[in-house]
Amino acid sequence: MTTPIRSYEKSLQLWERAKNSLASGVSSQFRLYNQPHPMFYQRAKGTRIWDVDGNEYIDFTLSQGPMIVGHSNPKVLKAVAHASKEGQLFAGQHELELQLAERIQKLVPCAELLRFSLSGSEADHTALRLARGATGRTKCIRFEGHYHGWLDNVAISVNPPIELAGQPDAPRPVPWTAGINQSDLDETIVLQWNDLDAVTRAFAGQANEIAAIITEPVMCNNGCILPKAGYLEGLRRLCDQHGAVLIFDEVITGFRLDLGGAQKYFNVVPDLAVFGKAFASGYPISVIAGKRKFMDLVATGKVLHAGTMNSGNPTVAAALATLDLLEKGGGSAFKKLFRLGKRFMKGLKNVALNTPHKLVVQGPGPMFHFGFTDKPRIENYRDTLSYDKQKLGQFVLGMQNRGIRLIGRGLVYISAAHSNEDIDKAVDAARETLAEMG
């Protein structure tokens, strides 16, 4: 089977030019790993995105997740345009901000009080600062393979090489990058996710030092691994028992699994939660939400939270419009996200059956992960190290050449704008790509 011919020449030319002004030609390190090189895009609408060479794609990256109602949604753009005419940034309060806060407060179980920021990274940073301020303790439990942003105290053991990671029952904190202080490593307890016994042992030895557990409720960034039955409940119980703060990083799961987030979907309420991505259709906003006894520390200024650009008018308007669309029809958008995601997952599994390629596909549906491995299922970060990265790259490029845009690490996002036809076209492209790979 011959590969469809697509030109990416203009993208290549622009990238070569960009390297003269942007470090490595990109503004986020992850963009550097696109194939066949960093791509330049020109416009996007609904489920489609077009690159500067005129190639059209059905988009399942959704800008790394935020475009939950599709690109350039007219209701969102209209709300942004109207808010922008009133002013871009007041450096003061405005009524739309209050409306958004009240809306989230009603939707999210833990959101007794909240604050707005710009990115998930800084909201996670705020949550950890709050936990330390509330408990007077310094250490935090986090899990191998979870992503909580790129700031110093969380850029640890995100994807550690196995030779540095230590034993599975006693992982070592591994810096993700140069420039991380040893003190950040010393204050971090790294454990395998979904292993409640390991968390119990950590508290048994260091309970008086542990301020918080921070976790993705679904391990989205590596393998899209669901929590085992009773696991999140166990974390809640241990935090209550030992006076630690339970933090859910809902930057991906929030407003994607349910309007109330993963905490409502799984019926486990954390003390603090962080939201972003599927929230404002690509406009920069995040939320730190939590129980009053913790958020009061921010209210009184004992724990500092600030930001000149927080809750700008157009961004808040985009978030309100996005939530309007997600709430429309009594939550029918979420039924669609699950239905289409499961349709895509089933299609990928089926087309791989008649090939020599062993493809694992797993996740709840609105987001899921696929990868090439001999393992029947991925259960923790170390299982993800079995993925054949070269084969995954070959598959992603083959899909791109057939007009399907995927994230290079195998994470798939579904939007409320996608259709059965979009899913079926992607499955057909997967069938052709796998056949081409031999």
Taken in order of first residue, the domains within the chain and their CATH numbers are: 9-72+331-437 (3.90.1150.10), 74-323 (3.40.640.10)
Sign of the C-alpha dihedral, residues 181, 182, 187, 188? positive
Question: Which residues are known catalytic residues?
Answer: 147, 249, 277
DSSP string, 110-155: T-SEEEEES-HHHHHHHHHHHHHHHHS--EEEEETT----SSTTT-
Q: What is the mean pLDDT of residues 163-173?
A: 94
Distance CA 235, CA 355 (A): 41
What pTM was estimated for this model as a whole?
0.96
- Average pLDDT value for the chain: 95
- Per-residue pLDDT tens digits for 375-404: 999 999 999 999 999 999 999 999 999 999
pLDDT value at position 34? 87
Token representation of residue 40: 């330049």
Location of structure tokens 């390629």: 357
Q: What is the mean pLDDT of residues 158-173?
A: 94
- Per-residue pLDDT tens digits for 249-285: 999 999 999 999 999 999 999 999 999 987 899 999 9
**Between the CA atoms of 206, 210, 212 and 218, what dihedral angle is there, to the nearest 10 degrees?**
-20
Which range (32-36, 109-113, 416-420) has the least confidence? 32-36
